[in-house]
Amino acid sequence: MKIGTIQELLHAELLCCEEELNREVFSACGSDMMSDVLAYVKDQAVLLTGLVNPQVIRTAEMMDMKCIVFVRSKRPNSEMIALARDSGIVLLATEMRLYEACGILYSNGLVGNKVAT
């Protein structure tokens, strides 16, 4: 699925890295706990989260993720947007809740991966 399609499906606002919207991604995960993302996620390119602080961007950077979707109308500040832009990570913001946003992406073919062991 293209990141641009994620933006359309979630009626999301694009906050940075428009040039990456054509990038294909193959899996996603949803979590507000970055420790769990660092522990269990493997090869997932999209992070959906309701958590808003710079560690979300750094966690995605460490995991080589390509896109972060902020749910529940959460908005990152300019410092976070600058960090993401520096790493080429697309930031999207949607009004949807985490469960709904994950469900829409999953039912449109963007599945999760097995838990890494």
Partner 1 sequence: MNGQLTFHFDVDGSDFTSAGQASVQVKKDLRQLGLSPEIIRRVSIAMYEGEINMVIHAGGGTADVVVTEEEIEIILTDHGPGIRDIAQAMQEGFSTAPDNIRSLGFGAGMGLPNMKRYTDHMDIQSEVGVGTVVTMRVSIPK
Interacting residue ranges for partner 1, rule: CB under 8 A: 32-36, 38-39, 51, 53-56, 58-59, 61-64, 87
CB of 51 to partner 1, least distance (A): 5
CB of 82 to partner 1, least distance (A): 13
**3 state SS for 12-32:** CEEEECHHHCCCECCCEEECC
Q: Which is nearer to partner 1, 59 or 94 (CB)?
A: 59
Q: How far apart are CA 104 and CA 22, in angstroms?
A: 19
Q: Which is nearer to partner 1, 8 or 36 (CB)?
A: 36
Helix (H, G, I), strand (E, B) or coil at 82: helix
